[in-house]
Amino acid sequence: MSYIVEWYRDLMDNKHDPRTQEWFLVSSPGPVLTIIATYLYFCISAGPRYMKDKKPYDLRNTLIIYNFIQVLLSLYLVHEGLMGGWLYEYSFICQPVDYTYKPSSIRMAHAVYLYFMCKLIELLDTVFFVLRKKDRQISFLHLYHHSLMPVCAWIGVKFFAGGHPTLLGVINSFVHVFMYTYYMLAAFGPQMQKYLWWKKHLTTMQIVQFIIVFSHNIQMLFTSCNFPKPLSFLLTINAGLFIYMFGSFYANNYMKSNVRRELKANGAANGTTSVNGHAISKEMDRGKSD
C-alpha cells in the first residue's frame, strides 16, 4: 500500500505536464471522478426514479441550441488540432509531447484542454435522454463511452497535452461534427426524417475512427519513439474495445434488422408468418379460426 501511495504521489507531483497543472479540474482526478460518479448515479438510478411518474420534458429548443453549440465546438477543435500540429509539424509515425512554451505547443495544449471540457459537457447527452424518458437509448455502450472519454481526456491534459495521442481528439471531433449535426436536425421534428437517412453511417464513422486510432497507436509499440509505450498500449486496447462494441451495435441494429425485414417480406410474399420461429401458413390459421 505504501508503494502505491508513493507511486501515486510521484505521478501527480513529478510526471505531470507543468503547463496545465494549475488549470481548472486538472490538478487532481478527484473532481472528474466525482462528476462521472454523479453522472452514472443520475442516469442509472436517480433520474429514472425522478421521471417515473412524470411526462417527458419537451426539450426541443434546448436540444437544437445544445447540438448547434457542439457542432461549432467540434469544428473549432478540428481546426485547432490541425493548425496546432497535425497539418504542419506532427509526424504520424512518432510524435513525442512538446512540453515547451512555444506558441504551437501551447496552442495544442489549449486544444486538448477544450477537448477535455467538451467530454464533460457531452455528459448532458445522457441527461437529456433521461429527462425525455428515452431510456432505451441509454445502453452499456453509451454509458461506457461517455464515462471513459472524460477520464482519457483528463489524463491527456494532466500528462500529455500534445503529441501522438491528440490525433484521437482531432478525428473524434471531426466525427462529432456530423453526429451533432444529425442530432440537431432530428431535434427539429418528424418533418426532418426524410433528410436523416444517413444515421447508420455515423456508426460506420465511429468504427473507422477507432480503427485509425488502433492502427496509429499499435505501431508505436514496435518503433523507437520518445513516447510512453504503456500509454500507447492502453490506447490500443481501448480502441480495440470500442471497435468491438460499435461493431456489435452496428451488426445488431442494422445488419440483423435488414435480415429480419427481408425474411418478413419473403414470408409475406409466400403467404406465411413466423410465430416463435416456426413458419405457419396463413391459410392454416384461417382454417383453425373457422
Report, as residue numbers or ranges, the catalytic residues: 145
Contact 147, 40 (CB under 8 A): yes
195: left (phi over 0), alpha (psi -120 to 50) or beta: alpha
Indicate the angle between helix axes 140-159 and 229-250, nearest 10 degrees: 160
User: What is the enclosing helix (H) or strand (E) of 8?
Assistant: helix 2-14
The count of residues in the chain is 290
CA distances from 286 to 264, 280, 282 (A): 19, 11, 6
* Dihedral class, residue 277 (left if φ above 0, else alpha if ψ from -120 to 50, else beta): left
CA distance 199 to 225: 39
Pairing status of strand 278-281 against strand 272-275:
antiparallel
